[in-house]
């Protein structure tokens, strides 16, 4: 958790919704994908998977402007945090999520948590529920994907942290020498959603965005407080088709509710009822 999410908007939408000062989505760092990203990075994507580059909001000084005030920027970063000290960028595949409970203690995330925090815009996220009654062909609990989003239709902003990694073998001025990556912060799932999975992303309400993005807010206790839940009941969820399980599949059809006849052994997250 969280291993897939939807981000079906354009950079222009994010610039407006997140009050971006500087759109740097045309500046590219190294991609870790073996093949060209599809859909292209920055285009609407209903199935964002680890190692893809996706829109991220952060606050930094403009490049090459020493002494300038930090500004809110839109960048395309790689999902899966690669620490600056990593010897191999493949470590990012194991670091797509950072637990809120240990964010400020873990060596890979601690420095980023106090000075390199970001927002990850999304429509919502996917999660897989293990059936308590049905099994698959291998005898394991049948897994049903769900889509989860804000019930009030407000933009979703996952709490995130980001990091820079440099390929020391590349030329100093080679832009492909840099991998700029992020992890999504997760927490215990709230009542109802915990019937789908025991974890969920930390979703920050709008009034916390500015402080979370502020690189001068470095007090660990204050950072922890920003991750606290404002209360339950902000989200709604419904089961979707299994096509989302393949990162090759994309498009708005992934968000459509699954037919009732396909839901044997699925638990309704709101009522606890098991469909048969």
Confidence of residue 1 (pLDDT cuts 50, 70, 90): low
Distance in angstroms (rounded) separating the CA atoms of residues 212 and 100: 14
Q: Contact, 144 vs 135, CB < 8 A?
A: no
Is residue 33 within 8 A of residue 56, CB to CB? The reply is no
Residue-wise pLDDT for 173-221, tens only, equals: 787 889 999 999 999 999 999 999 999 999 999 999 999 999 999 999 9
| Buried/exposed code over 23-44 (b: 16+ C-beta within 10 A; e: otherwise) | ebbeebbbbbeeeebeeebbee
Residue 169 pLDDT class (50, 70, 90 cuts): confident
Of the pLDDT bands very low, low, confident and very high (cuts 50, 70, 90), residue 241 is very high
Q: What is the structure's pLDDT at 173?
A: 79
Q: Exactly one of 2, 105, 118, 154 is catalytic; which is it? A: 2
Structure tokens at 147: 């889509």
Note if 118 is an active site residue.
Answer: no
Residue 172 lies in a domain: yes
Q: Which two tokens stand for residue 17?
A: 């919704």
Q: Let me know if residue 270 belongs to a domain.
A: no
Predicted confidence at residue 136, as pLDDT, reads 93
Kindly state whether residue 271 falls inside one of the protein's structural domains.
Answer: no
Annotated active-site residue 172? The verdict is no
Per the DSSP assignment, residues forming a β-bridge with 83 are: none
Q: Which residues of 135-167 are buried (b: 16+ CB within 10 A; e: fewer)?
A: eeeeeeebebbbbbbbeeeebbbbbbbbbebee
Q: Does 161 fall in a domain?
A: yes
Of 21-25, 169-173, 249-253, 267-271, the poorest mean pLDDT is in 169-173
Angle formed at CA 81 by CA 77 and CA 86, multiple of 5 degrees: 120
Lowest mean pLDDT among 157-161, 168-172, 206-210: 168-172
Residues of the domain holding 256: 4-262
- Average pLDDT of 143-163? 96
Question: Phi first, then psi: what are they for 182, rounded to 5°?
Answer: -145, 160
Cα-Cα-Cα-Cα dihedral sign, residues 250, 256, 262, 267: positive
Mean pLDDT of the chain: 94
pLDDT tens-digit profile of 86-140? 999 999 999 999 999 999 999 899 999 999 999 999 999 999 999 999 999 999 9
The span from the CA of 50 to the CA of 183, in Å, is 10
Is there a contact between 255 and 237 (Cβ–Cβ < 8 Å)?
Answer: no
> Is residue 272, in this structure, part of any structural domain at all?
no
Residue of 27, 127, 256, 273 marked catalytic? 127
Taking 3-state DSSP, the helix, strand and coil percentages for the chain, each rounded to the nearest 5, stand at 20, 35, 50
Within a domain: 171: yes
Q: Is residue 182 situated within a structural domain?
A: yes
Would you give the end-to-end CA distance of the chain in angstroms? 26
User: Is residue 64 very low, low, confident or very high in pLDDT (cuts 50, 70, 90)?
Assistant: low
Q: CA-CA distance, 214 to 115, in Å (whole number)?
A: 8
d(CA 72, CA 65) in angstroms, rounded, equals 14
What pTM value is reported for the model? 0.96
Using alpha carbons only, give the angle 200, 17, 186 rounded to the nearest 5 degrees: 15
Q: Spell out the SS3 assignment of 31-48.
A: CCCCCCCCCCCCCCEEEE
Counted domains in the chain: 1
Q: What is the CATH number of the domain that holds 217?
A: 3.90.1680.10
- The token pair that represents 232 in the structure block: 């339950």
Are 159 and 201 in contact, with CB atoms under 8 Å apart?
yes
Residue 102 lies in a domain: yes
**pLDDT over 90 (residue 228):** yes
Mean per-residue pLDDT, 3-29: 94
């Amino acid at each position: 958790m969280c291993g897939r999410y939807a981000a079906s908007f354009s950079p222009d939408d994010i610039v407006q919704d997140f009050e971006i000062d500087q759109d740097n989505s045309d500046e590219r760092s190294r991609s870790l994908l073996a093949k060209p990203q599809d859909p292209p990075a920055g285009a609407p994507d209903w199935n964002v998977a680890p190692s893809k580059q996706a829109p991220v909001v952060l606050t930094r000084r403009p490049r090459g402007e020493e002494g300038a005030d930090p500004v809110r920027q839109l960048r395309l970063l790689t999902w899966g945090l690669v620490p600056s000290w990593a010897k191999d960028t493949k470590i990012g595949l194991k670091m797509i999520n950072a637990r809120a409970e240990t964010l400020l203690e873990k060596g890979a995330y601690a420095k980023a948590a106090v000075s390199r925090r970001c927002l990850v815009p999304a429509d919502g996220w996917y999660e897989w529920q293990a059936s308590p009654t049905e099994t698959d062909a291998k005898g394991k609990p049948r897994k049903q994907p769900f889509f989860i989003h804000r019930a009030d239709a407000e933009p979703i902003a996952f709490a995130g942290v980001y990091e820079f990694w440099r390929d020391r073998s590349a030329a100093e001025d080679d832009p492909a020498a840099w991998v700029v990556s992020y992890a999504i912060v997760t927490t215990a799932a709230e009542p109802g959603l915990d019937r789908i999975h025991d974890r969920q992303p930390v979703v920050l309400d709008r009034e916390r965005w500015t402080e979370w993005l502020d690189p001068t807010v470095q007090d660990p206790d204050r950072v922890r407080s920003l991750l606290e839940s404002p209360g339950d009941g902000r989200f709604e969820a419904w089961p979707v088709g299994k096509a989302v399980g393949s990162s090759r599949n994309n498009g708005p059809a992934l968000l459509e509710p699954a037919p009732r006849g396909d839901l044997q052994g699925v638990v309704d997250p709101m009522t606890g009822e098991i469909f048969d």
